[in-house]
Amino acid sequence: MTAYAHTVGAMVYRFADLRDLLAKASPARSGDMLAGLGARSAAERVAAQMALADLPLTVFLSEAVVPYESDEVTRLIVDRHDGAAFAAIGHLTVGGLRDWLLTQAASDDTGALPAVAPALTPEMVAAVSKLMRNQDLILVASRCRVTTAFRNTIGLPGRLSTRLQPNHPTDDSAGIGASILDGLMYGSGDACIGINPASDHVGGLVTLLHTLDDLITRFDIPTQSCVLTHVTNTLAAIEKGAPVDLVFQSIAGTEAANRSFGIDLALLGEARAAALSLGRGTLGTNLMYFETGQGSALSANAHHGVDQQTCEARAYAVARAFEPLLVNSVVGFIGPEYLYDGKQIIRAGLEDHFCAKLMGLPMGCDVCYTNHAEADQDDMDSLLTLLAAAGCTFIMGVAGADDIMLNYQSTSFHDALYVRRLLGLQPAPEFEHWLRRMGIFAGADADGVRLGAMPPLLAQAARRLLP
């Protein structure tokens, strides 16, 4: 491991290795401080950022923050690195990469950003994000367009999708059905209709999958369903003949953290292959749905001395390997032990979105917080607006923004309407066409959402879903 140093005035700041340098250069957050990794002063943070700015990108190819021999995520990053693509940026420092990303030459119109995505390791994108202001993160991310497809097309310019999240504390079918109908009436659900089940009993999961499939099929809704259970439960449901669209799994940035989730890369590959064999996609074969969040490796004591934002970026290398339809940072869900307040949550959400998009992922964000964090819905309004301006792929749609099963605060169906109206955004094109055909959307844009009588076909759905 190489030591690093930077002099500010008469003070010399020393950093033990690349892990230490990255951690000290991170904007302040509670998780890094609790782990003893963060900068001890603003001056030390600036010194680390200045030293990081001068670091050649080639250093990240020779110095691993988690050892290659003992971590399969590191092996994945190293073995899949695209050396040919790296030739275009290999002469740059981290600061030079930041400067290039902010030039017009790196705009999406030139195709430059997709071309370099395979050349960028998670540690590189984490490093450059640490040198950026919020506006830099927003500008660059807004240029990164990533398109995926299953039954509709996600991520096109001028579009913002939503996951309709109809969770219920007892998996009650009427409660779930009411939330689904409410969300559809507000134009939510094109990313997916995704339920976090209260129980992991496979029989109950199969019932939920059949309920969602019946609704989507009967009313020809161009979207996909997902029951967000452990990947082994999804495999068991497939074996029982359940109609599985998307395979969900929480992932992290180290092998040990993924092991704490009960997964490894081979298991993810097995699940993807099983779902692909069902052939349920009509427009594409992107069918994995991953969720991530800063602090997951730290909470599992599986961070190897790496700061939480760099660990988070490493999770995106895992996601990238499986060509997902959706990736979602549940940014404020893990709690104030890792992101203390609204300021830290906003910064982390912009970092996560930037890093994932730069690596070529279809990144969304659960704009959320827990009730014991120093944050409120005004903070979430700010983050939602900033992410939408940055080209976020999708957000959550939760009735009243209050998830009564997971007990946290997210974004509502109304919040999606707000930001679509503000920025002139639409749902996925196939879903938008369905909304218009159903009479839910009217007029030229999402401002034409009808909030009156339920369209006849959805009234039929209501009779099927509600007692």
- What is the torsion angle, in degrees rounded to the nearest 10, for the CA atoms of residue 309, residue 315, residue 316 and residue 317? 120
**What is the per-residue pLDDT for 278?**
98
Residues 78-98, mean pLDDT to the nearest whole number: 97
Q: How does strand 225-227 pair with strand 192-195? A: parallel
Checking if the pLDDT of 466 tops 70, the result is no
Instruction: State the DSSP code for 382.
Output: H
Percent of the chain with pLDDT over 90: 89
Q: Is the model more confident about 39 or about 450? A: 39
Residues 29-33, mean pLDDT to the nearest whole number: 97
Question: CA quadruple 119, 125, 126, 130: dihedral positive or negative?
Answer: positive
Contacts of 377 (CB under 8 A, 6+ apart): 401, 409
Checking if the pLDDT of 372 tops 90, the result is yes
Supply the pTM of this predicted model: 0.95
pLDDT category, 186, cuts 50, 70, 90?
Answer: very high
pLDDT category, 18, cuts 50, 70, 90?
Answer: very high
**Long-range contacts, 258-265 (Cβ 8 Å, 24+):** 258/73, 258/318, 259/302, 260/300, 260/302, 262/230, 262/232, 263/231, 264/72, 265/72, 265/73, 265/76, 265/318, 265/321
**What is the per-residue pLDDT for 242?**
98
What CA–CA distance (Å, rounded) separates 381 from 224? 27
pLDDT category, 464, cuts 50, 70, 90?
Answer: low
**What is the per-residue pLDDT for 116?**
94
Q: Is the model more confident about 455 or about 405? A: 405
Q: Write out 71-105 in H/E/C secondary structure.
A: CHHHHHHHHCCCHHHHCCCCCCEHHHHHHHHCCHH
- 272-302 pLDDT, tens digit per residue, is 999 999 999 999 999 999 999 999 999 999 9
Q: Supply 7's token pair.
A: 């002099």
pLDDT category, 457, cuts 50, 70, 90?
Answer: low
Distances (CA, A) of 99 to 14, 16, 106: 25, 27, 10
User: How many separate helices (H) and strands (E) can be counted in the chain?
Assistant: 22, 14
- 48-71 pLDDT, tens digit per residue, is 999 999 999 999 999 999 999 999
